[in-house]
Amino acid sequence: MSNEELYRKSYFNRLGELSDLVPEAFKAFAQFDKLALSEGKLTKRLKELIAIAVAHTTGCPYCIEVHVKAAKAEDVTKEEMSEAILVATALKAGSALAHGVNALNAYDQTGDDELYKASYFTRLKELSTLNGDVFKSFVDFDTKSMKESILSVKEKELIAVAVAHTTGCPYCIDIHTKGAKDANASKEEIAESIMVATTLKAGSALAHSVNALNAFDS
């Protein structure tokens, strides 16, 4: 193996070695992953779309490979996959933008000990004054990415909830949980989307263990 080759599809085959190195924890994660991605209140098809979106948020090429193939097996189209990816893109960018209100607080030295308050989010409009054209362009992109198209608003909001838990943006979690609820998603459906996000974020760490094995053995 070349030291330059940090990612190859074939490296993923080493994942099974963890079942020998840490058998109990590996088995427990595999069971959790299976349950989180099994059909429940949400279809397996939608769960795989959520998984693809989250995999693009974590930036795990192995996860992208696995879940795109799994989604194709559930008859997910390339167009549906692309819409899910664009929701993930909007949410990852939106997380950075949302934290701009914290930057404004820090810059203005508000002296408030609370780092997150729902009311802080109202400061976001200040960015439209400070950097208007760029702000407007993002809002246009965000609005179009969340608009009903091949995927419904409900499906997109459930994807958004999952991605928001991956980015760890409390403002995004608040907005999109309410958005999913307004789109008639149940609490159980929202919880299932969060579990998919949880297993994908953990799975990204697990998948990268093949790189650690390569590094250890080099």
Q: Does residue 24 form part of some domain?
A: yes
Q: Does residue 6 form part of some domain?
A: no
CATH assignment of the domain containing 189: 1.20.1290.10
Q: What is the pLDDT of residues 63-98, one digit of tens each?
A: 999 999 999 999 999 999 999 999 999 999 999 999
Rg, the chain, Cα only: 19
Question: How far is it, in rounded angstroms, from Cα 57 to Cα 51?
Answer: 10
- The token duo for 112 is 């408030």
Q: Does residue 13 form part of some domain?
A: no
Q: Does residue 1 form part of some domain?
A: no
Question: Which domain does 54 fall in, by range?
Answer: 18-213
How many domains are contained in the chain? Answer: 1
The structure's pTM equals 0.91
How large is the average pLDDT for residues 159-176? Answer: 95
Residue 101: band (very low, low, confident or very high) from pLDDT cuts 50, 70, 90: confident
Residue 48: count other Cβ atoms within 10 Å of its Cβ.
Answer: 25
